[in-house]
Structure 1
């Protein structure tokens, strides 16, 4: 059996991630990925067996990276408002770099075994919900169920990315114009959350 070359394997994954999440080519084939990575289709199939297997692996790696980054923010000792600002910044940075990643998140959410259902994630979410409640009790945030605060935050961040293609057509925006809107949106989200 041939020795697996981790560099080649990672190059294929990085190329696939760019094609799927940055370019939005959701129907890319193993041949498309092989051509873009500068390898043979046989090599892509050797490492990943199918385009579905490759998508799954790229997506899982991306979600693990996002979770790690968001966990770092949620677990930090930063003041709550600063924590939320960093949270928005991290999310927006990834949204600009990988604007079509949200499409995969929506697909994954509809499966029973997804990246958001592990027990560790539940514990971290409960801790963050308690912090939100403490901010409400201190009068820094309008009183509501803390889950609504998190839902509002995610809705304000995610919805524009999910609807990106439609918004770009309706408002006649190119990629740079949409990217600028997302940059502006970071401050708007913060102001909306902390009216």
Structure 2
């Protein structure tokens, strides 16, 4: 084989993301991904010598995208309440598009270890934690460890989406009805977490 084609490599990565993040097929084989991409397994192995290499690249891309979204929201000049509302919109919209991405990331972190996520201390998170502390000092938020505030926020956003198949069955909701519930949830989260 000759020079690697970036568009084919991107096609394989994008297909793997769709299979893992949208379809939730975390145990797909390289043959499954090659078939979904419309390429041969040989070609897939030309770009990614093993499934582990492909999964590692998909993981790195997903973590960079997640960190980028988080940093762009936390670094914005919006007032704190608007910043939190924007964070909720961004993360719920992203998770609705890629419902199994968080499960994939957590599975990889559990398999490989947390060192693959954050190579250095995230100063953006520390700055945001200080903003939370300031809001608490000003009486705008219930007093708690700022880490709990962030954990509560992410739990309220992510858990219902990670467990969506269970909730859809439990409450007998169609996909559209579940999306409506999640869209209603955006305001409810703000009401629950902000004074």
- TM-score range (shorter-chain normalised) is over 0.9
Structure 1 stretches (4+) deviating beyond 3 angstroms? none
Q: Secondary structure at the match of 1:3?
A: coil
Q: Secondary structure at the match of 1:119?
A: coil
Distance 2:116 2:184 in 1: 31
Cα 1:177/1:53, change in 2 over 3 Å: farther
Distance 2:12 2:156 in 1: 33
Report how far residue 142 of structure 1 moved. Answer: 1.0
Q: Please report the TM-score for the alignment, with normalisation by the length of structure 2.
A: 0.92
Give the paired residue count.
193
What residue is the counterpart of 1:174 in the other structure?
Answer: 174
Report how far residue 108 of structure 1 moved. Answer: 3.5
The gaps in structure 1 that reach 5 residues or longer are none
State which drifts further: 77-86 or 171-180.
171-180
Report how far residue 50 of structure 1 moved. Answer: 2.1
The gaps in structure 2 that reach 5 residues or longer are none
Q: Please report the TM-score for the alignment, with normalisation by the length of structure 1.
A: 0.92
Cα 1:174/1:29, change in 2 over 3 Å: farther
Report how far residue 120 of structure 1 moved. Answer: 4.5
State which drifts further: 159-168 or 83-92.
159-168
Distance 1:96 1:143 in 2: 31
Distance 1:177 1:32 in 2: 31
Report how far residue 145 of structure 1 moved. Answer: 1.2
